[in-house]
């Protein structure tokens, strides 16, 4: 029994003192990946590969990279969520979009459309759950128009611009309808006004003709 224990202890000490080259026989080191090279490869796989599992793994791996550094990640995942025919790929794309921080309008709109129109019930339910968390994170799809919301509606007439002393300046004055004000001025003083219905016009006044002037005749 003691011989077995001593052999185990010796093996552990030998393993601890082993060089990195010899340690690779026991543990396989994970190779480092260059993001500048790996991200384009994953995008091509997600968009063009015919294997459903490869596309799903590509969508899953893309979530590990910074979407602000690689701007192609969000549009590619959104396109996969809305256009891919396989449910597994759409679910992986949905998970990747829901983790985008800060919130992104393209990601939010794609998840909203998937929550309302996806043919899979599982995708719709998961998209609704993801949208709840995305709204809490700060996403808002319905923002009021500030220009129309702060605009006051009044019954005042529009303003008319009148040139000022300078050619580049103008004075804004309200537009006034001058027709009622000018009507008495445009009416002639001797023009009779129309009478209301049912009232007869009074007889016209006649003045007698003046007799001719009499005087000495200038002709014999």
- Residue spans of the domains in the chain: they are 35-136
| DSSP assignment of 150-217 | SPPP--PPPEEEEE-SSTT-EEEEE----HHHHHHHHS-TTPPPPPPTT-PPPPPP--PPPPPP----
Q: What is the pLDDT of residues 25-81, one digit of tens each?
A: 444 555 678 999 999 999 999 999 999 999 999 999 999 999 999 999 999 999 999
C-alpha distances (whole Å) from 12 to each of 15, 19, 22, 26, 90 are 5, 14, 14, 12, 48
Instruction: Provide the 10 A C-beta neighbour count for residue 147.
Output: 7
Please state, in angstroms and rounded to a whole number, the distance separating the CA atoms of residues 80 and 212.
115
Mean pLDDT of 146-154: 44
95 pLDDT exceeds 90? yes
CATH of 35-136, one of 1.25.10.10, 2.70.150.10, 2.60.40.10, 3.40.50.300: 1.25.10.10
Query: Is the pTM here over 0.85, yes or no?
Result: no
pLDDT computed for residue 25 by the predictor: 43
Out of 103-107, 152-156, 198-202, pick the least confident: 152-156
Q: Tell the residue number behind the tokens 């005749």, with chain if given.
A: 217
Q: How far apart are CA 58 and CA 1, in angstroms?
A: 52
Q: Is residue 76 a contact partner of residue 96, using CB atoms and an 8 Å limit?
A: no
The pLDDT of residue 98: 94
Band of residue 22 on the pLDDT scale cut at 50, 70, 90: very low
Name the DSSP class of 1. Answer: -
- The per-residue pLDDT for 32 is 79
Q: Are 77 and 97 in contact (CB under 8 A)?
A: yes
């Amino acid at each position: 029994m003691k011989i077995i224990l001593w052999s185990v202890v010796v093996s552990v000490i030998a393993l601890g003192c082993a060089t990195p080259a010899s340690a690779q026989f026991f543990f396989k080191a994970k190779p480092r990946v260059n993001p500048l090279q790996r991200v384009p490869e994953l995008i091509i796989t997600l968009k063009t590969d015919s294997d459903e599992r490869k596309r799903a793994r590509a969508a899953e791996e893309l979530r590990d990279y910074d979407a602000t550094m690689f701007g192609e990640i969000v549009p590619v995942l959104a396109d996969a969520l809305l256009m891919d025919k396989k449910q597994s790929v759409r679910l992986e794309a949905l998970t990747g979009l829901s983790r985008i921080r800060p919130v992104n309008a393209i990601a939010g709109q794609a998840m909203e459309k998937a929550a309302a129109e996806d043919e899979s019930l599982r995708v719709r339910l998961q998209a609704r759950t993801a949208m709840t968390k995305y709204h809490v994170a700060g996403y808002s799809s319905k923002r009021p128009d500030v220009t129309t919301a702060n605009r006051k509606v009044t019954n005042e007439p529009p303003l008319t611009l009148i040139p000022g002393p300078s050619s580049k300046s103008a004075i804004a004055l309200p537009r006034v309808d001058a027709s009622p004000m000018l009507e008495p001025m445009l009416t002639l003083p001797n023009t009779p006004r129309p009478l209301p219905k049912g009232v007869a016009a009074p007889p016209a006044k006649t003045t007698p003709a003046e007799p001719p002037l009499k005087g000495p005749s200038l002709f014999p």
